Amino acid sequence: MSDGPDAETIVAAVRALLDAREPGRTVCPSEVARRLAGGNDGDWRALMPAVRRVAAERARAGELVVTQRGRAVDALRARGPIRIGYAD
């Protein structure tokens, strides 16, 4: 039994946020976590590790890209703010 959303649910949230933006734009992992938390202000922080893990997995698969200051990074190793976008 899982404590949080599964990978497909996280990816669906990422896609929904990205699809609502102009092509080439990115989202912050905290936006994804907040969406998954359903507006529960405190709950989203607990989802951040799962969002980063799924972003890293999907980046390795070539589906998404994770960037920091405009450069591709590993979501699990990057310290500080990152962005998630569609891979080119």
What does the pLDDT look like over 39-80, one tens digit per residue?
766 789 999 999 999 999 999 999 999 999 999 999 999 999
Q: Which pLDDT score, from 0 to 100, does residue 1 have?
A: 41
Q: Can you give the pTM of this predicted structure?
A: 0.91
Q: Which pLDDT score, from 0 to 100, does residue 4 have?
A: 83
CATH 1.10.10.10 describes domain 7-86: yes
List the domain boundaries for the chain: 7-86
Which tokens sit at 26? 């990115």
Q: Are 5 and 47 in contact (CB under 8 A)?
A: yes
